[in-house]
Amino acid sequence: MTRLEVAPPHDHPVLIGRGLEPPQPQGPVALVYDAAVEPLALKLAKQARPELTLRLEGGEASKRLAVYEDLLREFARARLPRDAEVWALGGGTVTDLAGFAAASYLRGVAWLAWPTTTLAMVDAAVGGKTGVNLPEGKNLVGAFHPPRGVYAELAALDTLPEATFREGLVEAFKHGLIAGDAALLAPWDLAPGRPELEPYLARAVTVKIGVVERDFKESGERMKLNLGHTLAHALEAASGHALAHGHAVAWGLLFAALLGRELGGEDLTQPVLRLLAWTRAPAPPTGGWADFAGYVARDKKNRSGGLRWVVPYAAGDVRVEPVAEAALRAAFNAWREHAAGYSG
C-alpha cells in the first residue's frame, strides 16, 4: 500500500493499494456508488455500515444537475447531519457529482473519494475539483472541495475493461511529460494485478499533487495540467462526445508534441504515437484549421487575459505561453497528416 499526502489547504491522504482498510467514519455515511462496481460497493457497505446507500449509473450522462438534485434530496430525506460523510465510489463522473453534492449539502459536508478507474485515480479524484456539466458545456458548475481522503482500491480495476484501463492512463502519461518522469512515459506493460501498477499510479498521482499544491485554483502552474486539452476538447465536441476523453487527450498530446517541436523543443512525437496505438485510439474527427481555430476562438472567451498554450519543450520542460498563429497552424497541419495516415 502506498500512502501519499496532499498538503493544506487540501490536507488529505491518497492511499493506493489492494484491500484498503476503510477509515473510521466521522459521522453517518452516505455511500454513493457506480453501478459498474456494485460488488465492491456491497463489500464497502458491510465495513462502513452507511446510513444511506445510493446507486448511480456512471458515465457522462449522469453528471448533470437533475442527478445532483436527486442526491441532495436523498440526503435531505435521510436527514443527514452536518457531520455526515459522503463516500463516492466510482469513476470520475461519480466522484465529481457526489463530491459536488457533498460540497453544497448543508453548505458543505465531508467526503471521501474511492476512484475505481485509472482515469479517476490519477486525475479526477485528486485536486479538489467537483462539479457537473450543463447542456452548454462540460464542468461549467461545481466547487473546489477537497475530499477528506482518496482511496484508490486496485481491486476495482480487475473488472475494468482493458480499453478503459489503458485510456485512463493517458493522463498519467501526460503527468510524465509535465514532470519529466520517464517511467510514466512507458505504461506499455501495465495491466490490473501487475505489481508495477501501484508504483506507476503513485508516481502519476505525485505529479498531480505537486501541481495542485503549488496552485490550488488553477491560475498559473495548474494550467500545465491542460497539456493537450485544448485540441482534445475541440475533438470531443466535434465528435459529439463519442471520442473518449483519454483518446482525445492522446491526440491532443500529439498536437502539443508537434507544437513543441515546431517551436524548437525536443521531438516527443514517438512516445505519443506509441501511446495512441497502445490505447487503441480511433482516428480523430476530420476538420481543418478553420474548424479548430473557430473552436478555440469561442473557447477563448471563457478565459481571462487572452489565450496561452501549454507547450512541451521537453519532458519536464512544459511552459505556458502565448504562441504565434503561424506556429500553431504548422503544428496543426503536421498533426492532420498524422491523423490522416493513422491506422490505429
Binding site for its own copies (CB under 8 A): 27, 65, 69, 72-73, 76-77, 79, 81-83, 100, 103-108, 129, 131, 134-137, 140-144, 298, 301-304
> Measured from the CB atom, is 86 or 157 closer to its own copies?
86
Beta-carbon contacts of 329 under 8 Å, excluding residues fewer than 6 positions away, are 289
Q: Which is nearer to its own copies, 12 or 145 (CB)?
A: 145
Residue 247 CB, nearest distance to its own copies (Å)? 26
Whether 19 and 193 have beta carbons less than 8 Å apart is answered as no
Question: CB of residue 79 vs its own copies: minimum separation in angstroms?
Answer: 5
Closest distance of CB 127 from its own copies, Å: 11
- Distance separating alpha carbons of residues 172 and 228, to the nearest angstrom: 13
Pick 126 or 276: Cβ nearer its own copies: 126
Q: For residues 154 and 84, give the distance between their C-alpha atoms in angstroms, rounded to a whole number.
A: 26
CB of 333 to its own copies, least distance (A): 28
Omega within 30 of 0 (cis) for the link into 147? no
The residue written with cell numbers 519536464 in the block is 316
Nearest Cα to Cα of residue 201 among 314, 316, 123, 89: 123
Which CB, 105 or 292, lies closer to its own copies? 105
Rounded CA separation 5/249 (Å): 27
Separation in Å, CA 187 to CA 194, 240, 262, 315: 12, 29, 26, 15
Written as one string, the DSSP assignment of 274-338 is HHHHHTTPPPPPP--HHHHHHHHHHHHTTSSS---EEEEEETTEEEEE---HHHHHHHHHHHHHH
Of 91 and 128, CB closest to its own copies: 128
Nearer to its own copies, 3 or 73 (CB): 73
Neighbour tally for 229: CB within 10 Å: 20
Tell the smallest beta-carbon distance from residue 302 to its own copies (Å): 5
Shortest spacing between CB 141 and its own copies, in angstroms:
5
Rounded to a whole number of angstroms, the minimum distance from the CB of residue 110 to its own copies is 12
- Following CA atoms 118, 53, 38, 40 in sequence, which dihedral angle do they give, to the nearest 10 degrees? 70
Rank residues 20 and 143 by Cβ distance to its own copies and give the closer one. 143
